[in-house]
Structure 1
Amino acid sequence: MPTAIIDGIATYYETAGSGPPLLMFSPGGFNATLDNWRTQGQYRRLNLLGQLTERYTCITFDRRESGRSGGRVERLGWSDYAAQGRGLLDELGIERAHLMGGCVGCSIVTTFAVAYPDTAAGMVLFSPAGGPRYRMLQQDRFARHLAHVAEHGLAQVVALAQAVDKSFSQDPRVGPWSTVIRRDPEFAQRYAQWDPRRYTAVVTGMSRVLFDRDTVPGAEPEDLMLLNIPSLIVPGQDASHATSAARYLQECLPGNEYWDVPVSGQTEDTAAGRVLTFLDAIAF
């Protein structure tokens, strides 16, 4: 099991294929595991990873607090997730890579590009998460978790997380550290001993920092406008991946390529080909 320790947190990752490196930030909300590229929704249908590995070295990983990666109770922002990706490239000795995000991974990709522009060769932003309904859903999820904490306490959150096999996205009561609680008994013990008031402040701040707008969260629009990194935007078309979110990125990112094809037209035969055509045209 390949694991890198990044900022004191274990990161589970895999590499597949050959060619220039492509660092892939997984879809899946608060269950953003590398397996989602193969098993979740449209990504399973499109077989993107299977086709991309034919020409690129695809680096996939479980985002911190997801799957087999570790975590730490702290107020998380997009920059923390971006730093995990940068740390993984450093661990692998890679100075420059293409970036690809699916769903919420697009927010991390744009944050990464702003923070480490010399490291990003190109960006693929596939079905970016965003829109007013998305913001409302995420903020409600945090509120429901904190209501459960207020009523039952953190020890009961640990007991619930260990009793059910659900992520924060599936059952808000278990909170954003549920997978780490299940995997790491020492972490679970420390988590249960947190002062409830301090914990509430951490989670409240996390909700505000992560989901502060009705467009694509992550990098500020003014920073996006200053980027000089080739980008391909592929729109989504539902409540959590509003087409308006993709259009927002189109408006903010200079010189981008916008694949103006509805989700119904994004197929296994067309989607990977469009991504590969974009990546192949970038001088690496």
Structure 2
Amino acid sequence: MATAVIDGITTRYEVVGSGPALLMFSPGGFDATLDKWSTQGIYARIRPVDHLSRKYTCVIFDRRETGESGGRLERITWTDYVRQGKGLLDHLGITRANIMGACMGCCPAAAFAVAHSVMTTSLLLYWPVGGPLYRINGHLRFAQHVAFVHQQGLAAVVALAAEGKSFGQDPRGGPWVSVLRRDPAFAERFTTQDVEAYKLLVTSMGRTLIDRDTAPGAEPEDLLRLNLPALIVPGNDHSHGTS
């Protein structure tokens, strides 16, 4: 595996196959690591990278704050995730790419196409997240983390991170749990920050990332204005809406 520093944050990535470039925003919710393309649920069955790499140069990576990528304490937006993907393409010298997202990875994929339409050859969204239950459960996850911080403090979050669970598996650990587990210096900064300011940061981050009952990431009007080939493969459960 290779790494690159993008926007001051280390990104773990892998390039697989040959052909036209395909930037792939990983599935996995807030644990969007590159291995999810071959280990999680439906992706373990269909193994998209194995098939797509026969005709494309697949660029897969751990999204910031997940896996072996680093992170930063800030209110993260879809634009920040787009910046990571764009920076990775720049690092690899790729000027145009097909863009694919799966699960929550569809959100930054769609936002990438809007922000960098000239760089985008086509757009593929596989099982986009969305729907009222996705919004409700997503906001609940952030609220559970804030409640844990309020009751137990920041040091308890760091201790919990050592148990190895993701934000989705145990919301108490929060969206930075992966970095807390791997980076002692980050964990030290985390525990010494202002706890009230942190609770405000997390609350606003959850509300602004998951801000609608349709698929988040890009404004519908901006997507309608795009003039590029696109394929949407809808999901069929409470987190991945059918339309």
State the partner residue of 2:182: 183
- Structure 2 gaps, min length 5: none
| Aligned-residue RMSD, C-alpha | 0.6
SS at match of 1:100: strand
Matched residue, 2:194: 195
The corresponding residue for 1:26 is 26
Distance in structure 2 (CA, Å) of the matches to 1:225 and 1:56: 27
CA distance in 1, matches of 2:164, 2:14: 23
Q: Does 1:207 align with 2:209?
A: no
The share of aligned pairs that are identical, in percent, is: 59
**Cα separation, 1, equivalents of 2:49 and 2:199:** 38
Give the aligned partner of residue 90 of structure 1. Answer: 90
Distance in 1 (CA, whole Å) between partners of 2:132 and 2:150 is 27
Counterpart check, 1:136 vs 2:130: no
CA distance in 2, matches of 1:237, 1:184: 37
Structural mapping, 1:58-137, within 5 Å: 58-137=58-137
**How far did 1:150 drift?**
0.2
1:229 aligns with 2:239: no
Shift of 1:138: 0.5
Q: 2:9 matched to which residue of 1?
A: 9
Cα distance between partner residues in 2 of 1:9 and 1:34: 16
Secondary structure at the residue paired with 2:212? coil
Give aligned pairs, total. 243
Shift in Å, 1:58: 0.3
Q: Which letter maps to 1:187? A: F
CA deviation vs aligned residue, 1:187-232 (integer Å, no higher than 9, x gap):
0000011101110111111011101100101101111111112100
Match of 1:168 in 2: 167
CA distance in 2, matches of 1:93, 1:209: 32
Return the letter of the residue paired with 1:145.
H
Which amino acid is the alignment partner of residue 63 of structure 1? Answer: R
| Whole-angstrom CA distance in 1 between matches of 2:241 and 2:232 | 13
**Uncovered stretches (5+) of structure 1, i.e. residues with no partner:** 245-284
4+ residue runs of structure 1 moved beyond 3 angstroms?
none
Residue-by-residue CA offset, 1:28-63 (whole Å, 9 max, x unaligned) = 001000000000100110121101000000000000
Q: CA deviation at 1:120?
A: 0.6
Cα deviation code 1:257-280 (max 9, x no counterpart):
xxxxxxxxxxxxxxxxxxxxxxxx
